[in-house]
Amino acid sequence: MVSAEIMLHPNLAETASGNSLTWSEASAMKEAIFVLDVRAVSGTTPTLDLTIETYDPLSDKWDTIVTFAQKTGVGTEWKYSCDAGKTLGNLIRAKWVIGGTTPSFQFTVSAIMKS
């Protein structure tokens, strides 16, 4: 069994929606534990919606494989992803949507992957 620990988003503050760099060694992995750790929040009614996506090169589209609960404050959430007999895809990334008035979220997104 092969395993990998990856950081999809380092401990940085974000004030706008975006996505992480992609991780390209996911094709050998069949299961993962994704961890969203929100460390600081500011602004008026700030919201953070974060998903983990996989890429399909044939359709040139991203598909959501994990959705975290909307965050409005500091906290940690773990999500397990396993699809029997399938890999997690060729590429994975974290995608976030930030809302509110002058919002800021400092967070990390990490994963423990297994083949």
Give the pLDDT of residue 87: 62
Give the pLDDT of residue 31: 86
pTM for this predicted structure: 0.91
Quick one: 10 exposed, middle or buried, by C-beta within 10 A (0-12, 13-18, 19+)? Answer: exposed
- Domain housing 8: 3-114
Pure H helices in 23-69: none
User: Does residue 100 register a pLDDT over 80?
Assistant: yes
Give the pLDDT of residue 2: 67
Q: What is the pLDDT of residues 10-60, one digit of tens each?
A: 999 999 999 997 776 666 777 889 999 999 999 999 999 999 998 888 889
Q: How many domains are there within the chain?
A: 1
* Separation between Cα atoms, residue 39 and residue 28, nearest integer Å: 31
- How sure is the predictor about 3, in pLDDT bands with cuts at 50, 70 and 90? confident
**CATH number (domain holding residue 87):** 2.60.120.230
Give the pLDDT of residue 91: 85
